[in-house]
Structure 1
Amino acid sequence: MNMNMRKYFNYGKELFNKGEYKNAIHQFEQAMAIEPDYADIHNYLGLSYSMLGKYNTAIQHFKDALTINPEYIDAHINLSIIYTEMGKFNEAEKEYKIAFSLEHRAKGKTIGIKARIANLHKDLGDLYLTIGDYKSSEKEYKMALSIANMYPDIWLNLGKLYMIQDKFQNALEAFEKCIEINKNFMNGYVEKGLVLYKMKRLEEAKNVWLEGLKIEPDNIKIKVYLNLVKTMERKNEL
């Protein structure tokens, strides 16, 4: 494999992960000029263009990746997602079925197809959150949960998104879902207590954090927040 191509490609991935999609595209195109038949480059170009809303260009790159490697599961998944975003549900279903078939043939060598698609939507939600596009971030988190709603980390991120927007009741419900799914999910207790604190429901916040300490007695965040509650209670007594 050409070392210059690898340099451009790796740097492009770094930029992509930082949300610098235009700069990432430039690096991927430099890599593609050296090795035009490398499917991963086309897949990342497709992802980059999709993040910029240039869906038709993205689709072409995903198709180029599949021309090079027809069994490229990620490219089929990415096509399924982008077709769903565009409302082309028949095309999305077709790509999903191909990906599912390829996954099944892999005989468990990779994680479940639904989990992979859900995680891709979660990652997109995280990226949109990073650039402050809350509406798109919420949409992606909800898409992830519509596919696999038993992942507490997705509920957690959705709750944090609501917290940023001061949608405290929605955030509370999301954090409660985290704990419902996994009684030992510490971040659920931390964030549920925090949103109750922001809602001025201090006694409830304290009780949630105390429940969390039963699971993890040395949790630093919870101890700090409990001290905040004590400070507020002392102020209220004055």
Structure 2
Amino acid sequence: MAYSDYQELIAVARENFIAGKYSTAEPLLTQLLLTNAREPEIYQMLATIFYDQGKFNKAIKTFKRALEIDPNYTDASIGLSIILNDLGRYDEGKTIFVEAQDLLSKKKSKMDPFVQDKIAKKHLELASLYFQYFDYKEAIDQYYKALALSTKKEDIVIKIAESQVKLDHADKAIKELKKYISEYPQAIGARLKLGIIYYNANRIIEATEQWEQILARDPNHKEAKSFITMAEKAGVTELGV
């Protein structure tokens, strides 16, 4: 299919890229490159496609080309930082990501939700890495940054609580979970975790209350039933957090 002009070709390529139709978008983007295009978006989309295909070196080169054209093009920075992190080049990826985040924070307009999700994902990746290497304070810092951007807040709050417990700050973990539950009483995962932390602090009645609250909302919740049964048995002293 022939396209009447350059802008129409970009629009069609973008539409297919957003729809995930990479096999259609790729030749259109390649055609645009033949015109000596200097829009960083074209290189960013093409680099993302290369990354999806497992062509990591080609993706890195193309992301960097987008940044050569516009060093402030944050979509390319974020994409590049993610692929470097996947390749184990953590320090390099983190540096690029932090620079991109700083640029985004300086923008007065509201951040695009899609960009917010990508940044939150990156913070979670870094938090998991810190947690894996027992640097719980840094993990918590990254979890809080993800919490400010992500829509999946309950999972992150639970991760923060788990990290606080690792630092022997059960009181802070409890405070974090209680605050979230006060805002979202239906948060079953947070209640389950709060009950476990209470139990391990020998606050059995408070632990049982949390699990009973879960059963009041979901009478067939297996974990809540199991924990209540365990709490009633002699000799059970600690549950895994």
- TM bucket, shorter chain: 0.5 to 0.7
Deviation at residue 134 of structure 1 after TM alignment: 1.8
Deviation at residue 129 of structure 1 after TM alignment: 2.6
Alpha-carbon distance between aligned partners in 2 of 1:56 and 1:159, rounded to the nearest angstrom: 24
TM-score for the superposition, normalised by structure 1: 0.58
- Number of equivalent positions: 183
Aligned to 1:125: 127
Return the match for 1:9 from 35, 48, 51.
Answer: 51
2:102 pairs with 1:97? no
Alpha-carbon distance between aligned partners in 1 of 2:80 and 2:104, rounded to the nearest angstrom: 19
Q: Secondary structure at the match of 2:108?
A: helix
Deviation at residue 166 of structure 1 after TM alignment: 3.3
Aligned to 2:82: 47
In structure 1, runs of 5+ residues without a counterpart are: 13-26, 60-77, 84-90, 104-109
Any idea what the Cα deviations from partners look like across 1:57-95, whole Å, max 9, x if unmatched? 727xxxxxxxxxxxxxxxxxx6442x3xxxxxxx5533x
Q: Secondary structure at the match of 2:219?
A: coil
Change in 2 beyond 3 A, CA 1:231/1:211: same
Pairwise CA RMSD of aligned residues? 4.0
In the alignment, residue 29 of structure 1 is paired with which amino acid?
Answer: N
Aligned to 2:96: 58
Return the match for 1:28 from 56, 61, 71.
Answer: 56
Alpha-carbon distance between aligned partners in 2 of 1:129 and 1:162, rounded to the nearest angstrom: 11
Any idea what the Cα deviations from partners look like across 1:143-173, whole Å, max 9, x if unmatched? 3345679933322221122233332111111
User: Based on CA coordinates, which of the two structures has the bigger radius of gyration?
Assistant: 2
Structure 2 counterparts to residues 131-210 of structure 1, below 5 A: 131-145=133-147, 151-210=153-212
Identical residues among aligned pairs (%): 19
Of 159-168 and 46-55, the range deviating more from structure 2:
46-55
In the alignment, residue 97 of structure 1 is paired with which amino acid?
Answer: K
TM-score for the superposition, normalised by structure 2: 0.58
Change in 2 beyond 3 A, CA 1:57/1:151: closer
Aligned to 2:18: none
Change in 2 beyond 3 A, CA 1:208/1:46: closer
Q: Secondary structure at the match of 2:140?
A: helix
Deviation at residue 52 of structure 1 after TM alignment: 2.0
Deviation at residue 137 of structure 1 after TM alignment: 1.0
In structure 2, runs of 5+ residues without a counterpart are: 1-25, 28-46, 68-74
Checking the alignment, whether the CA contact within 8 Å between 1:193 and 1:206 is kept in structure 2 is yes
Checking the alignment, whether the CA contact within 8 Å between 1:28 and 1:45 is kept in structure 2 is no
Alpha-carbon distance between aligned partners in 1 of 2:199 and 2:95, rounded to the nearest angstrom: 47
Checking the alignment, whether the CA contact within 8 Å between 2:161 and 2:177 is kept in structure 1 is yes
